[in-house]
Structure 1
Amino acid sequence: MASLSPSFFFLIFLLLLNTSNIASSTLPKFPAILVLGDSTVDTGNNNFISTPFKANHYPYGQEFPNHNPTGRFSDGRLVPDLLASGLGIKELVPPFLDPLLSDEELSTGVSFASAGSGFDDLTTLASRVIPLSQQLNYFKKYVKKLHRVVGEEEAKKIVSGALVLISAGTNDFLFNFYDLPTRRLQFDVTGYQDFLLQKFQDLIKELFDLGCHNFMVAGVPPFGCVPFQITAKFKNTSARTCIEEENKDAGGYNSKLTGIVKQLQESCRGSKIVYVNIYDPVMDMINQPQKYGFVETKKGCCGSGLVEVGPLCNRLTPPCANASEYLFWDTIHPGEVAYKHVTHHILDHMHMHFFQSTTTTSPPDNVN
């Protein structure tokens, strides 16, 4: 048998090296991640404001490193954490209001999000959490602080290159239209969708004017399947099923949102605005739970799984034995396992969107 020449092994080495480089470059590179929205992306800002909507107590965070409750409304990490880790930015995204926030953490990104918030300022009136309009003000303070830390030119590069993640809208519908019908005195559901989407457009335009160029915008999930909503609408707790009318409204909102994203992509030249379809992945987990290892999708893991959320999810309402088998951690928020599936879905698709040139006015990309 003929011996293999050294050049053969050298070619194999080059092939393996090239394959490794391709694998490492399949995801876009961002210097920072900046997050605005609600409890799905709030990494602890509510800890530092006067509101009952907090998750800085047991049993929240039981799957978090050192089992610490951090203010995240889940048993572990949220999508911003998992996304930042998957993109190689950092392992965890800190809350902007943390007084111990380091300069290094500041320069690689923070979350401005607040649990219970929405695009509509009225949504936060009773809860005293931070609406998106105020989060934008915090963003402006962040930019000024970043200028002092790294200098004006470097700050501009960080903001311009950062991935800006926005996730909001669900609380506006649940707590300002369905459960507490404040806005229903003023709007039908179509009108309220348009009202929220105008707020969203204004937010994107302001962030763009502040120098942001890479946006990832999450649609709303099938909020008619949230355990809290099911409990609120059904007197018979054993007959638990999704509220189809509310899911239909969620789908209608998302459909309009994709059109708005297209318009914004055309008007915000040089930007990249990607719509993220959250609805279908979550609905797939509900319809095919066994595919994801879930055994319960209509109740939360905390306590009875019917009403426990925030302050009602506590030491007197211990969690289920195996949270990984539950889609929802409490009666509103998914657990870390579900968030991991959503994040994998995002990462699997985002490279094909952000690798494309941002200097064209092509239609928006959708992470479906």
Structure 2
Amino acid sequence: MSDNRPTMIDTDVHNSMTGKQDLLPYLPKAYHQAWLAYGAGYGGSYLGTGAHSVTRRDARPDGGGPPASDPNYVIRHHLAPYGIDYAILTGSGILGISLVSDPDYGNVIARAYNDWLADTWLKASPRYKGSILINHSDPQAAVQEIERMGPHPDMVQVIMCSGSRNLFGQRMFHPIYEAAERHGLPVAIHPGTEGRGNAGPPTPSGHPTRYFEWHNIIPINYMSHVNSLVCEGVFEKFPELKFVAIEGGFAWLPHLMWRMDKNYKGLRDQVPWLKCKPSEYIRGHILLTTQPIEEPDDPAHLGQILDMIGGDHMIMYSSDYPHWDFDNPKVALRSIRRELRQRIFADNAIQLYGLSEKPGEGASV
């Protein structure tokens, strides 16, 4: 193995703006007032989102500002101490623009955010790689944004919120997948918007009462989207597409695979476009990230779950920095066998994002 091969890639770092004013130079003036007044505009949060707040207090830059709003401080505070070669940036408080009732507003915010990201964080250090934010409620505009930003050398995936009025396998989203596949970009989803904006309730029976309840059942939505993507034939239609389920854990996946394979035996006439078992599509096209990694009483059970999935290539490390439930890379995977840890920490992300060498000059601050 080359000495210049990355040894750790963090696939979920929530970079933040210093304030709403950061986006103003990238927005048409007609939208300035609305952005300053409403921001991303998709609603509030549950009470009690963590021990103190959603974000860690120690992630605030030395010079002030919101946590993870200074690219140089994030390198000193997070990347350098843990030996993280690359951080895949996933944004903060912005992903829910897909759930705003005005699609034009969502589109213009996504475009402005992507330009800001490219001009600030992606120029700050080669350690940073970006995610192209799209408004999935307007697939035609989302395709245009992928076409515009897809050629950028430091944009490595398309990202959209996991909250939605429709399941992601449905045909309205297929133009997004066609554009992403054509540019060689995976499509990623991230939680936090379930039950907000114009999305439906986060459970089939309505809204949880508290953040604790909501946080516990995030995998319900991920199971629904993965099930939809497979059953609607997305991966037959787009055989090179990869889909990344960020920050949803992975212990739920064996059960879903088993249930889908069992039902496929008796109900395959309803999905005649599927040419193999559902679990094979999942192993071939779905990737998941570790955070928030499940913590069974017996640590050995975690390795057994990974064996049940049967896809050592499917899991990537993510810290969720700077959120309260951040996963320390020195602790999170200690119970995982050594050869699999290296795949999770780096190899799987290297293959997905094409990051085969460590960052060049200017990577440290």
TM-score normalised by structure 2 residue count: 0.38
> Which of the pair has more CA radius of gyration?
1
More helix by share: 1
TM-score normalised by structure 1 residue count: 0.38
Kindly indicate whether structure 1 or structure 2 has the higher relative contact order, using CA contacts under 8 Å at least 6 residues apart.
2
